[in-house]
Structure 1
Amino acid sequence: MISAIILAAGEASRMGKLKQLLPWEDSTILGTVIKNIQESRLEGQIRVVLGAESDRIKRELSDYNCQFLTNPDYTRGMFSSVMTGIQNLPETTTGLLFMLADQPLVTTGIYNKLINYFKEEEPLLLVPSYKKRRGHPLIISAELIPEIHKLGEDGDPEGGLRSLLDKYEDDIEYYNVDKEGVIIDLDYYEDYQKYYSDHHS
């Protein structure tokens, strides 16, 4: 069973406002990410790791059937949210799908393709690739969960989960997609405005 961990704890300092709750489609950026995963073939839990303004986000997204976890150390960086997200996983977990909160352009269809491939091929690491650029979501085999815990024992590793990808570079399987949404995150308000108008026109 694959569970999803959506990393949504950041303060969005580069955006200048709480980007998780900016409007997108008939919801918000984070709400759309959750909805696209909910509508996929994912069987496990959807865990949303919050930090900055967590109470406000929980209130606004209370209709979504997912598990909200709060990372008290979110200011230390994204890996602390990874560690929050992997606590007390069900024993039936076979894989973890890691997703960023600011990538609403990743469609349910892309999630389904990755989930199906992971179930059939059982790679250690599965990463979508657009024109040879790594994107999200990435799916990590449950076999590597002890490795993530080990990384977390030394505080926050340089590069976070990327350091795991570097260590197991030869074991990564890349799934080529023809949609650039897997590499687009909305870090700056200009990015948001551009992709919002492209997507909603």
Structure 2
Amino acid sequence: MLIADGSKLSCIVLAAGRSKRMGSNNKLLLPFHGKELILHTIEKIIGQDFFEIVIVTGWQSHELEKILMNYPVKLINHPGYLEGQSTSLKKGLSVISEKTLGAFFVLGDQPMVQEETIKRLIAGFLQKPSFLTAPYYKDKRGNPVIIPRQFFSWLNQLQGDQGARDLFLREEIINKIHVHDPGVVEDIDTPEDYEKLKTKQNILRG
């Protein structure tokens, strides 16, 4: 999806992991509110002001592609996903447009992140486009995050299961967006996390 007059931000959704702590289930395909968990993330993203949306798949890529093929996204299969998170980050960076000002990194297993939070992060980045942009809930940094283009070379030096955590230790270059959104610090890694999520689903319904 290309928006000619858009924010010139590329969105990269990380959806390649093995979900080891979830057992035999791919957490992104688990049901939540009547559809697969990852769709809650994708459907909040596609209406935003992104230059393009790239989804990096790996484990059970065919199953993920089946449910995502009708969405306006670019699906990139990463066969080397077992080599660590850094390889998925770099795979996403390798396919985005050279015109992009930065990468909006989204974790596929955070269905409770609010759409308003996504909008605020984009707006915050556009005000300070040379800064890392991240949401903070009760002073705890969460996801999604935005990384400007000038840091791409740093990301491309990562190895194995390294992520961008060390980069975000440099508080002097972080644009902190304080949000009332616990979804930014909640992800679904274990069966217990999923049961807690379903409990929230029942509360929302009630």
Q: Which amino acid aligns with 2:182?
A: E
**Letter of the 2:176 counterpart:** Y
Aligned ranges 1:35-184 → 2 under 5 Å:
35-40=43-48, 42-149=49-156, 151-152=157-158, 155-156=159-160, 159-166=162-169, 168-184=170-186
Counting aligned pairs with the same residue, the percent is 31
- Tell me if the contact between 1:123 and 1:172 (Cα under 8 Å) persists in the aligned partners: no
Deviation, structure 1 residue 32: 1.1
1:12–1:187 Cα contact (<8 Å) kept: yes
1:89 is displaced (CA, Å) by: 2.2
Query: Are the equivalent residues in 2 in contact too, given 1:124–1:144 (CA < 8 A)?
Result: no
Unaligned runs of 5+ in 1: none
Q: Deviation of residue 142 (structure 1)?
A: 1.1
Under a length normalisation based on structure 2, what TM-score does the superposition of the two structures give?
0.89
Structure 1 residue 78, shift from structure 2 partner = 1.0
SS at match of 1:75: helix
1:22 matched to 2:25? The reply is: no
Listed one character per residue, the Cα deviations across residues 60-119 of structure 1 (whole Å, up to 9, x for unaligned) are: 222222111111111111111001000132122011100111001012111001101111
How big is the shift at 1:191? 1.3
2:14 corresponds to which residue?
7
Report the equivalent of 1:192.
194
The whole-number CA distance in structure 1 between the counterparts of 2:9 and 2:26 is 29
CA distance in 2, matches of 1:43, 1:37: 8
Question: Separation in 2 of the partners of 1:96 and 1:159?
Answer: 17
Q: Aligned partner of 1:109: which letter?
A: E
Distance (Å, rounded) in 2 between the aligned partners of 1:61 and 1:135: 25
Aligned length: 195
Q: What amino acid is aligned across from residue 198 of structure 1 in structure 2?
A: K
Deviation at 1:146, TM superposition (A): 1.8
Q: Distance in 1 between matches of 2:70 and 2:86?
A: 27
Aligned partners of 1:172, 1:120: CA distance in 2, in Å? 12
Query: Aligned equivalents of 1:60 and 1:182: distance in 2?
Result: 24
Unaligned runs of 5+ in 2: 1-7
Contact 1:9–1:71 (Cα < 8 Å) also in 2: yes
Asked if structure 2 preserves the Cα contact closer than 8 Å seen for 1:32 and 1:104, the reply is yes
Determine if contact 1:124/1:171 at 8 Å carries over to the other structure: yes
Alignment check: 8 A CA contact 2:85 2:162 kept: no
Whether the 8 Å contact between 1:124 and 1:143 is mirrored in structure 2 is no
TM-score (norm 1): 0.91
